Chain A
Amino acid sequence: MFLAHINPLQASIFSSLAIVSLLLTFVMLGSHWLRNYVYAFAAQSWLIAALSASVGYFSGYKELYAIAVLTALFRGLVLPWLLMRIVGRLNVKREIHAVLQPSSSLVIGAFAVMFAFVISNHMNGQQQSAAHVVVLALTIMLSMKFLGFLMLAVRDEAVSQILALLVLENGIFLGSQILVPGMPLLIEIVILFDLLIVVACFGMLVRFLVVHAGTTSSRELNRLVG
């Protein structure tokens, strides 16, 4: 296992990149402006690309360099650009938080991180020398999942919900880079392109929403009940 043989320098690089990604998720959770969400997401994608490259450098899986470049390009540039286009086309610039204030979301997010830590500790039964990096990777993967679902649950705007889904995927990607860097290249590349298609579909759907339903806020999409 690659993780069994890492030295403290590598561990601290992976850890710092992962933790700052988690912080950017909190930035997304706590801000009011839609553009800030997209910027935070772009920064997060760049960090994950850097993580990918460093894992590739230290572990010797050369294909991770290609994945890092593709991640930086598609998740870090193309996706945010597409999202900014969607945001620009909408009438709303900031999100009105109807259900949960950003500060409360931050606090709930903090508890989610603690819960994720407890689960990760429980799940990691293998006795290995780099146990803390493994638990960190699992914690951050799970907490980004929780935070993504929290954003999905309390956010009204369509763009915020798209970003929440992308955060979910980012979390899995980050975790998989640290835990399973040897995963076959095909799957990683296809998942990457899959995201691109997803966002393109979302873009089209948001346009339909604006045209036909008149709004992109899911608070007002309540014609179908029961």
Chain B
Amino acid sequence: MILSNEILQVCQVLCVLLLAPLLQGFILKAEERVQRSRGPSIFQPYRDLWKLFHKQSVVPESASWIYFIAPILAFTAMLIVPILIPVLTDRPLPLSDMGDMLGGGMILTLGSFAIILAGLDSGNVYGGIGSSRAVMLAILAEPTLILVLVGVSLLAKAMLPFVVNHLLLESASTYWSPAHLFLIPAFLALLLVETDKLPIHSSTHLEIYMIDEARILEYSGPLYALLKWASMMKQFILYIIFCNVFLLPWGLSQLGTPFGQLGSVGALLLKFLLVALVVVVVETVQSRLRFYRYQEPLAAGFLFAVLAIVSSQLF
């Protein structure tokens, strides 16, 4: 029995929504295990979200409507992006024509932008610090992101992630071409920065290093839960893009049967396991960079993206 396109679309969004905390839990537990402590259970983020939804929301006096809108905006943006990218199926579903890769990138950035505004909104000192640092990182990461998308488009001669996925599945020479091999580290650098992993560990609680936590310092209760969920979904989405479009394009369901859907969910989790292990190793091995050296990993990413574009012209 082949599921209809609408159900498949809803399944994709639900998959992202429900499995994002699982990924976060797994990464946290793996980091702790690597450092030889026991770590929380992998379902802990679910419990945290549940607890937060039942808590009271304390709103600062100086908050405006942006304070309320921003978490909702971020959450919604994270719900829209899974429609555009190949999550479970490898053929484009009807609504995925809404935006190509550049559009998906824009919506992701929209969510971050909303949270940055929220950080500035209440006039809190830490909110200002967090927002300005987050914007600096965004400025450094943006050219790399654009160049990576340009590189992928030049490689596939199309701007849809589905076309890239098919191309990589079909021709091994494209998979192993230097352009593609350079894009992988470029996107990995972006992935590490956007999901707040070392060497720019931005979700720390120490004020002197805070970037992301500072922006949402004023939030509590359900709004805080929405923000945390949004950041977990962003991580999940970036992992999806990294796996399905760049690194491991296999394992997507082709026909759309329920069994195929479950299978591709399983494949997704397996792929994420591998990437998460790599990320955990990278985190554990490094230490945090000084603030003025934040541009170095991103410059390396930029370099790889440029080399990818040049190589794509040569082959």
Q: Is A–B contact present in the complex under a CB 8 A cutoff?
A: yes
Chain A residues at the B interface, C-beta cutoff of 8 Å: 8, 12, 15-16, 19, 22-23, 26, 30, 101-104, 106-107, 109-111, 113-114, 117, 132, 135-136, 139
A26 contacts B311, CB within 8 Å?
Answer: no
Nearest residue, chain A, Cβ from B178: A19
Asked if B300 is an interface residue, CB under 8 A from chain A, the answer is yes
A113 contacts B296, CB within 8 Å?
Answer: no
**Interface 1/0 per residue, B175-187 and A, CB below 8 Å:** 0101000000000
A107 contacts B178, CB within 8 Å?
Answer: no
A110 contacts B295, CB within 8 Å?
Answer: no
- Which residues of chain B from 296 to 315 have a CB within 8 Å of any chain A CB? 296, 298-300, 302-303, 306-307, 310-311, 313-315
A30 contacts B300, CB within 8 Å?
Answer: yes
A109 contacts B315, CB within 8 Å?
Answer: no
Q: What are 5 A-B contacts with C-beta separation under 8 Å?
A: A19-B178, A102-B299, A106-B302, A107-B302, A107-B303
With A16-B178, A19-B178 known as contacts, the answer to whether A107 contacts B310 (CB < 8 A) is no
Chain B residue numbers with a CB within 8 Å of A132 are 314-315
B295 contacts A103, CB within 8 Å?
Answer: yes
Please classify how large the interface on chain B is, using the bins under 10, 10 to 19, 20 to 34, 35 or more.
10 to 19
B157 to chain A, nearest CB (A): 17
B306 contacts A114, CB within 8 Å?
Answer: yes
Contact of B314 among A101, A102, A139 (CB under 8 A): A139
Nearest residue, chain B, Cβ from A22: B307
Q: How far is the CA of A103 from the CA of B143 in the complex (A)?
A: 14
B315 to chain A, nearest CB (A): 6
B314 contacts A107, CB within 8 Å?
Answer: no
A33 to chain B, nearest CB (A): 14
Nearest residue, chain B, Cβ from A23: B307
A113 contacts B314, CB within 8 Å?
Answer: no
Chain B residue numbers with a CB within 8 Å of A19 are 178, 307, 311
B173 to chain A, nearest CB (A): 8
With A106-B302, A109-B303 known as contacts, the answer to whether A135 contacts B314 (CB < 8 A) is yes
Nearest residue, chain B, Cβ from A136: B314
B190 to chain A, nearest CB (A): 15
A106 contacts B178, CB within 8 Å?
Answer: no
Q: How far is the CA of A109 from the CA of B315 in the complex (A)?
A: 21
Q: How far is the CA of A30 from the CA of B306 in the complex (A)?
A: 16
Chain A residue numbers with a CB within 8 Å of B293 are 103
B314 contacts A106, CB within 8 Å?
Answer: no
